[in-house]
């Protein structure tokens, strides 16, 4: 039978029974046809859970005859027949230690050593070796060395992807295969539009593993190309893409929008690992996506038990970090409390602390669990595991303690011992915008006439640092900043630069929101000076007029 006719008929068959009946009707077939038959059998007999009917397949006479031919005539096979058969048998879960597999592998390696394999053959052998022998296989390096001598511009997308995968496991030093990688990156940039979802994901993952931070043009093109593939990525592929966005510091508004559409439709069928990675992406990029957060909240409420403790933390912490309560907040935190009651001991100590700390940022108070958190036993566990009781950890503990002191007066459990408390909170996301502060101070000087009437970056006894503090006496007159007597009112100006807000909206981050909330409870009058209100003020006078209205809205004696 003509090969073209054979493959057309073969591809029309949808069960192994039909394929075996068809094969048994043929008197003779080439090794390419026989290996194609094995590949078609693997396509119809293997699904996500493995072989559908292993006994029926492995005992079939036609199948055994095919395997016999490949085992005892391996030296007579064409390169294509040999390597296609090897790939099909791997997919069919044939024992890697069997004489059949050993014979095919041995023949493949022998031809590799003699330099008899084409680019397509090399990639097929590399894929099989990765599957069977893993990253430690010495022949992978031999394959890549052969590939270096070939013309990369003539490679198919599949061949490019396969070489990236092999490099990913054999490159051990930064300079190794540097020239090959640079050439591949340049060529891949020209074929990005041809890449499938699977290939896009694999290449992005390889670029992360190979630390290709210099390949900015390729990374950017792949990230933009990935937007149209979002509905078609598998869970693992989407995780790879998100990890690449995080690693390379990339962000695309259209990617977020496509992700929102996809999550809204698919949230209840997504793997928990994919869901938690999406939330991790939003959190690290400071992207408040209400459609994503709302959908994840609903998924967690209905299916929390399918999430690991780390995945639970990765899903919940962003709500606190980005200072957002979804419409289902009540049900969400009831479910979280139930999970904590049943799985408290399963959480790693630092994961648990991060989770509970994120809750207080949005006024969800874990008072039922604080006695355990403040216990010497738990604090010792924190200290014993990296990063131990570093400044960030002790800041979280102190802020938990301050929160229950200020906002939960009914709490009567153990307190946090002074030796675990910090003198000032560490706020990694909310550092002061020095340029913005300088503009505000210039406007205040214009308004108040003298520098003595306000102080900047003032440390308080309550762990917080006030950006700018102004003191007033009982009659509302401004006092010198250094004066401690007759202070009737303290005004805390919060000079909120862009880094204190979510990147895509004017929503204050959780750690800044709790600071302003606590300053109010501690007796300060908090006045927020957000960057977006003053960025258009062109001169000192306009800034002073703005500050006058914000700080002294009912006073007319401080005219500019």
Both 107 and 167 in a single domain? Answer: no
**pLDDT for 174 beyond 60:** no
What pLDDT was estimated at residue 56?
82
First CA to last CA distance, the chain: 97
Residue 342: both structure tokens together: 């049943």
Is residue 94 in a domain?
yes
**pLDDT for 559 beyond 50:** no
Residue 178: both structure tokens together: 């540097």
Is residue 396 in a domain?
no
Secondary structure of residue 341 in the 3-state scheme: helix
- Domain end (from 197, 231, 250): 250
Are 10 and 26 in contact, with CB atoms under 8 Å apart? no
- Domain end (from 68, 89, 116): 116
Is residue 110 in a domain?
yes
Both 112 and 139 in a single domain? Answer: no
Please tell me the total count of domains within the chain: 3
Both 147 and 46 in a single domain? Answer: no
- Domain end (from 83, 116, 149): 116
Both 63 and 34 in a single domain? Answer: yes
Residue 174: both structure tokens together: 């930064």
Both 530 and 450 in a single domain? Answer: yes
Both 91 and 194 in a single domain? Answer: no
What's the CATH code of the domain at 491? 3.40.960
Lowest mean pLDDT among 167-176, 237-246, 402-411: 167-176
Is residue 500 in a domain?
yes
C-alpha–C-alpha distance, residues 53 and 73, integer Å: 27
Q: Within its chain, how far is the Cα of 515 from the centroid?
A: 28
Average pLDDT, the chain: 93
Predicted confidence (pLDDT) per residue in 335-379, tens digit: 999 999 999 999 999 999 999 999 999 999 999 999 999 999 999
Is residue 160 in a domain?
yes
Both 529 and 462 in a single domain? Answer: yes
Select from 311, 383, 394, 298 the least CA-distant residue to 349.
Answer: 383
Is residue 336 in a domain?
no
Is residue 318 in a domain?
no
DSSP3 helix / strand / coil % (the chain, rounded to 5): 65, 5, 30
Domain range holding 70? 1-116
Predicted confidence (pLDDT) per residue in 122-159, tens digit: 999 999 999 998 888 889 999 999 998 889 999 999 99
Both 437 and 472 in a single domain? Answer: yes
**pLDDT for 191 beyond 80:** yes
Both 173 and 221 in a single domain? Answer: yes
Give Cβ neighbours of residue 11 (< 8 Å, ≥ 6 apart). 40
Both 442 and 496 in a single domain? Answer: yes
**pLDDT for 98 beyond 50:** yes
Q: What is the mean pLDDT of the segment spanning 20-45?
A: 92
What pLDDT was estimated at residue 378?
96
């Amino acid at each position: 039978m003509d090969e073209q006719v054979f493959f057309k008929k073969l591809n029309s068959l949808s069960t192994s029974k039909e394929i075996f009946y068809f094969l048994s009707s043929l008197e003779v077939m080439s090794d390419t046809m026989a290996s194609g038959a094995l590949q078609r059998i693997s396509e119809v007999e293997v699904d996500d859970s493995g072989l559908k009917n292993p006994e029926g397949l492995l005992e079939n006479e036609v199948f055994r005859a095919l395997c016999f031919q490949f085992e005892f005539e391996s030296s007579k096979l064409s390169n294509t027949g040999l390597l296609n058969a090897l790939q099909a048998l791997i997919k069919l879960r044939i024992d890697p230690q069997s004489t059949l597999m050993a014979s095919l592998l041995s023949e493949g390696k022998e031809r590799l050593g003699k330099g008899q394999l084409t680019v397509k053959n090399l990639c097929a052998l590399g894929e099989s070796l990765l599957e069977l022998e893993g990253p430690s296989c010495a022949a992978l390096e031999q394959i890549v060395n052969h590939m270096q001598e070939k013309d990369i511009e003539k490679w198919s997308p599949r061949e490019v992807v396969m070489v990236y995968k092999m490099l990913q496991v054999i490159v051990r030093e930064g300079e190794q295969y540097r020239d090959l990688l640079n050439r591949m990156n340049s060529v891949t940039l020209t074929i990005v539009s041809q890449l499938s979802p699977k290939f896009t994901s694999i290449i992005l993952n390889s670029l992360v593993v190979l630390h290709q931070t210099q390949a900015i043009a390729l990374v950017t093109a792949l990230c933009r190309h990935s937007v149209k593939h979002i509905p078609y990525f598998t869970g693992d592929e989407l995780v790879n893409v998100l990890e690449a966005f995080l690693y390379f510091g990339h962000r695309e508004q259209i990617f977020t929008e496509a992700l929102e559409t996809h999550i809204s439709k698919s949230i209840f069928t997504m793997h928990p690992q994919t869901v938690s990675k999406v939330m991790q992406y939003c959190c690290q990029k400071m992207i408040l996506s209400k459609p994503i957060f709302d959908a994840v909240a609903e998924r967690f409420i209905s299916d929390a038990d399918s999430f690991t403790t780390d995945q639970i933390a990765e899903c919940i912490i962003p709500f606190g970090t980005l200072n957002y309560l979804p419409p289902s907040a009540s049900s969400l935190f009831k479910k979280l409390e139930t999970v904590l009651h049943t799985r408290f001991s399963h959480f790693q100590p630092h994961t648990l602390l991060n989770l509970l700390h994120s809750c207080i940022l949005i006024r969800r108070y874990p008072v039922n669990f604080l006695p355990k958190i403040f216990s010497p036993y738990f604090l010792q566990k924190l200290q014993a595991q990296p990063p131990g009781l570093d400044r960030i950890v002790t800041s979280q503990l102190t802020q938990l303690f301050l929160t229950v002191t200020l906002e939960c007066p009914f709490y009567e459990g153990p307190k946090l011992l002074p030796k675990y408390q910090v003198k000032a909170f560490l706020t990694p996301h909310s550092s002061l915008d020095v340029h913005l502060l300088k503009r505000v101070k210039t406007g205040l000087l214009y308004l108040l006439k003298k520098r003595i009437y306000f102080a900047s970056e003032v440390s308080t006894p309550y762990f917080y640092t006030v950006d700018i503090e102004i003191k007033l006496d009982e009659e509302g007159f401004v006092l010198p900043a250094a004066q401690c007597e007759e202070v009737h009112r303290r005004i805390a100006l919060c000079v909120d630069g862009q880094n204190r807000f979510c990147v895509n909206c004017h929503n204050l981050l959780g750690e800044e929101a709790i600071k302003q909330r606590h300053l109010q409870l501690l007796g300060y009058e908090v006045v927020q000076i957000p960057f977006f209100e003053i960025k258009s003020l062109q001169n000192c006078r306009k800034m002073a007029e703005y500050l006058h209205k914000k700080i002294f809205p009912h006073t007319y004696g401080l005219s500019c």
